[in-house]
């Protein structure tokens, strides 16, 4: 991989971008299910459109329905226990890399992500017969702040740091493919959609990042690493994509199941 600096290799960047959403998961193992004892909606709110059950994608109906939910999700829907997506709060992620040029362990806490409510739904489709629900989002900008704590080695150099991390991502394009099932809500008997499997893909146009207090406050080493990351953001993301896509699927699987479990199909598939 060609990079624009002669400092350390890409291993430097792997440790840091993983702070945002890298989670150690295996295919089919979802760890972020949300416990929510609120009852599902029983009346259709004004923001929830309807589509034909026989053909929910006719005239791009499901895409419009899906996008129409975003303002309500951004504000939060407390009556059904759905927290605000703006900002999106993630309590903790773990990082564990132990091969190649990078050996790293640690974690990130209190992630606050601003910008999800500005998503544009480029495509969304629902196939009840094949049990598929897919969508494609574009987000012009995401701003992320969190706490980090990392310890390990990059090439022959130790990496130790804890403190604040700030990141900005521009022109984020996300595709989500899911396999669903139709289930009955245990208390009301209402039919709901449940996401059984999820695969996430993404591309990022540009990235800016800053880690504070790297190397216990050694500003020279910290400045070199932050500079490297900002000069090679797209290469960083490309190298991390497989792990990041698994981590995003783990997070979004729980978030979207929490939403769909509170939206009985009787209210929007007619």
| Per-residue pLDDT tens over the stretch 23-36 | 333 334 556 788 89
- H/E stretch holding 227: helix 219-231
Angle at 76 between CA 73 and CA 77, to 5 degrees: 100
Q: Are 165 and 184 in contact, with CB atoms under 8 Å apart?
A: no
User: CATH assignment of 62-267, given 3.90.1150.10, 3.15.10.30, 3.90.1070.10, 3.30.750.24?
Assistant: 3.15.10.30
Q: What share of the chain is helix, strand, coil (3-state, %, to 5)?
A: 30, 40, 30
Model confidence pLDDT, tens digit, residues 182-227 = 999 999 999 999 999 999 998 999 989 898 998 888 888 888 878 8
Instruction: For the chain, give the percent of residues with pLDDT over 70.
Output: 79
Q: Are 109 and 142 in contact, with CB atoms under 8 Å apart?
A: no
Model confidence pLDDT, tens digit, residues 82-95 = 999 999 888 776 76
- Show the tokens assigned to 113: 């992500």
Q: Check residues 248 and 236 and name the one with the higher pLDDT.
A: 248
Model confidence pLDDT, tens digit, residues 102-133 = 566 777 789 899 999 899 999 999 999 999 99
Q: CA quadruple 213, 218, 220, 221: dihedral positive or negative? A: negative
What is the pLDDT, as a whole number, of residue 13? 30
What is the pLDDT, as a whole number, of residue 228? 75
What is the pLDDT, as a whole number, of residue 15? 31
What does the alpha-carbon distance between residue 157 and residue 191 come to, in Å, rounded to a whole number? 55
2 has pLDDT over 60: no
Q: Name the maximum alpha-carbon separation found in the chain.
A: 63
164 has pLDDT over 50: yes
Residue 262: Cβ-neighbour burial (10 angstroms; 0-12, 13-18, 19+): buried
Q: Which residues contact 156 (CB under 8 A, 6 or more apart)?
A: none
Angle at 187 between CA 183 and CA 267, to 5 degrees: 60
Q: Which residues contact 9 (CB under 8 A, 6 or more apart)?
A: 3, 101, 155
* Domain spans in the chain, listed from the N-terminal domain onward: 62-267
Q: What is the pTM of this model?
A: 0.79
175 has pLDDT over 90: yes
What is the pLDDT, as a whole number, of residue 173? 95
11 has pLDDT over 60: no
- In degrees rounded to 5, what are phi and psi of residue 228? -60, -45
Q: CA gyration radius for the chain?
A: 20
Go through 222-245 and write b for each residue having 16 or more CB atoms within 10 A of its CB, e for each that does not. bebbbebbeebbebbbebbeebbb
- H/E stretch holding 253: helix 233-260
What does the alpha-carbon distance between residue 173 and residue 59 come to, in Å, rounded to a whole number? 23
Which of 198, 203, 261 shows the shortest CA–CA distance to 237? 203
- In degrees rounded to 5, what are phi and psi of residue 57? -95, 0
**What are the helix and strand counts (H, E) for the chain?**
5, 6
What does the alpha-carbon distance between residue 152 and residue 49 come to, in Å, rounded to a whole number? 50
């Amino acid at each position: 991989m060609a990079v624009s600096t002669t400092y350390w290799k890409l291993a430097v960047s792997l440790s840091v971008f993983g702070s945002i959403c890298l989670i150690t998961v295996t295919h089919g193992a979802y760890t972020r299910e949300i416990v929510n004892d609120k009852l599902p909606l029983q009346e259709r709110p004004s923001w929830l459109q309807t589509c034909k059950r026989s053909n929910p994608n006719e005239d791009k109906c499901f895409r419009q329905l899906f996008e129409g939910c975003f303002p309500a999700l951004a504000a939060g829907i407390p009556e059904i226990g759905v927290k605000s997506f703006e900002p999106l709060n993630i309590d903790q992620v773990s990082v564990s890399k132990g091969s190649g040029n990078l050996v790293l362990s640690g974690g990130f806490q209190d992630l606050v992500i601003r910008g999800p409510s500005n998503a544009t739904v480029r495509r969304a489709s629902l196939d009840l017969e094949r049990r598929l629900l897919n969508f494609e989002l574009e987000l012009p900008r995401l701003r992320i702040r969190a706490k980090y704590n990392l310890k390990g080695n990059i090439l022959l150099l130790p990496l130790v740091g804890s403190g604040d991390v700030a990141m900005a991502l521009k022109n984020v394009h996300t595709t989500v493919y899911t396999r669903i099932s139709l289930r009955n809500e245990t208390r009301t008997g209402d039919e709901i959609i449940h996401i059984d499997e999820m695969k996430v893909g993404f591309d990022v146009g540009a990235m800016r990042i800053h880690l504070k207090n790297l190397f216990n406050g050694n500003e020279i080493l910290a400045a070199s690493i932050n500079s490297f990351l900002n000069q090679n953001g797209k290469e960083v993301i490309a190298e991390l994509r497989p792990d990041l896509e698994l981590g995003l699927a783990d997070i979004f699987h729980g978030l979207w199941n929490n939403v769909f479990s509170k939206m009985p199909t009787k209210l929007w598939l007619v």
